[in-house]
Amino acid sequence: MPRPRVYKTEAVVLKRANLGEADSIVTLYTPNLGKIRAVAKGIRRPKSKLCGHLDLLTRSTLLLAQGQNLDVVTQCQSIEYFPLVKNDLKRIGCALYVAELLDQFTVEQVENYPVYRLLNDDLLWLGEARDPDIVLRHFELQLLGHLGYKPELYYCLSCRAPIQQQRNLFSSSGGGVLCPNCSEAEPVANLISVDALKVMRFLLESDQASARRLRVAGDLSREVGQVTRSYIRYVLEREVRSLEFLDHLEAKGQGACPS
């Protein structure tokens, strides 16, 4: 549906880039228009009315006017800053990863309300979670599911036999699990444990309230992370840059949050 000349929307800011001396281009994720990019004129001037309302990872209500190339933000009021996320370096890193992942996986102006809800719900959860890594695994798997990349976790990709409780393989190129008998079908598939498979199924299928009760040991969480990361790298055909920051924190021993 074409947008009216002036329109109002709620949005979460995924990215900001400087434009000229005082403007910014903001990448926004909205409930009804999906991802959009817009110009925030004069936002980098200290007295700008927009200042503070379009910070990265802030949810706001905006009024936009259609422009020749990009639409222009004319008014803006913040609704949610996700303050608990922004109080902690690890959680900030996780939230930047969530924003970058969503930006890389989506094209502009394709509505996906479940993804908008997922973004907001998981950013709130990220602020409160004992284990932020589980929130990332939930976001990754749910996002893949909502965007048509849901991994096959129940039947072997090759022979279609139901997956048994044994060490199977995960194929990033196939987007799912292979049974041991079919391991030669995909030489670059990686081993996946029974418990990692169970965690992935649970995070894909349960609502957030149930997912919040899940407790996963560090090693298992890392295994699930490696599987999803490798699958995402295959789908996007590149690495997500903000992962470097999370890896850096992990290496410095700052990867864990105080509970």
Q: Going residue by residue from 181 to 220, which x/- string records binding to Zn ion, judged by CB under 5 A?
A: -x--------------------------------------
Q: How far is the CB of 185 from Zn ion (least distance, A)?
A: 7
Please spell the DSSP secondary structure of 29-87, one letter per residue: EETTTEEEEEEETTTTSTT-TTTTTS-TT-EEEEEEE--SSSEEEEEEEEEE--HHHHT
Report helix, strand or coil for 162.
strand
Q: Does 224 bind Zn ion (CB under 5 A)?
A: no
Q: How far is the CB of 184 from Zn ion (least distance, A)?
A: 10
Q: What are the angstrom distances between the C-alpha of 95 and each of 45, 83, 99, 132, 252?
A: 26, 12, 6, 10, 19
Which parts of 91-130 interact with Zn ion (CB under 5 A)? Answer: none
Q: List the beta bridge partners of residue 176.
A: 152, 171
Q: Does 153 bind Zn ion (CB under 5 A)?
A: no
Which parts of 164-183 interact with Zn ion (CB under 5 A)? Answer: 179, 182
Which residue's CB is nearer to Zn ion, number 172 or number 221? Answer: 172
Phi-psi map region of 42: left, alpha, beta (phi>0 left; psi -120 to 50 alpha)? left
Which residue's CB is nearer to Zn ion, number 92 or number 156? Answer: 156
Contact criterion met (CB below 8 Å) for 190 and 169 = yes
Which residue's CB is nearer to Zn ion, number 126 or number 157? Answer: 157
Q: How many residues bind Zn ion (CB under 5 A)?
A: 5
Q: How far is the CB of 191 from Zn ion (least distance, A)?
A: 15
Q: What is the DSSP letter of 155?
A: B
Instruction: Please select the residue that binds Zn ion; options are 58, 60, 112, 158, rule is CB under 5 A.
Output: 158
Q: Does 159 bind Zn ion (CB under 5 A)?
A: yes
Q: Does 156 bind Zn ion (CB under 5 A)?
A: yes
Which residue's CB is nearer to Zn ion, number 108 or number 184? Answer: 184
Q: How far is the CB of 165 from Zn ion (least distance, A)?
A: 15
Q: List the beta bridge partners of residue 163.
A: none
User: b/e string for 6-30 if b means 16 or more Cβ within 10 A?
Assistant: eeebbbbbbbbeebeeebbebbbbb
Which residue's CB is nearer to Zn ion, number 110 or number 159? Answer: 159
Distance CA 96, CA 240 (A): 10
194-205 vs 218-236: helix crossing angle, rounded to 10: 70
Report helix, strand or coil for 235.
helix
Q: How far is the CB of 88 from Zn ion (least distance, A)?
A: 43
Q: How far is the CB of 190 from Zn ion (least distance, A)?
A: 16
Q: How far is the CB of 200 from Zn ion (least distance, A)?
A: 18
Which residue's CB is nearer to Zn ion, number 156 or number 197? Answer: 156
Which residue's CB is nearer to Zn ion, number 179 or number 192? Answer: 179
Contacting residues toward Zn ion, per CB under 5 A: 156, 158-159, 179, 182
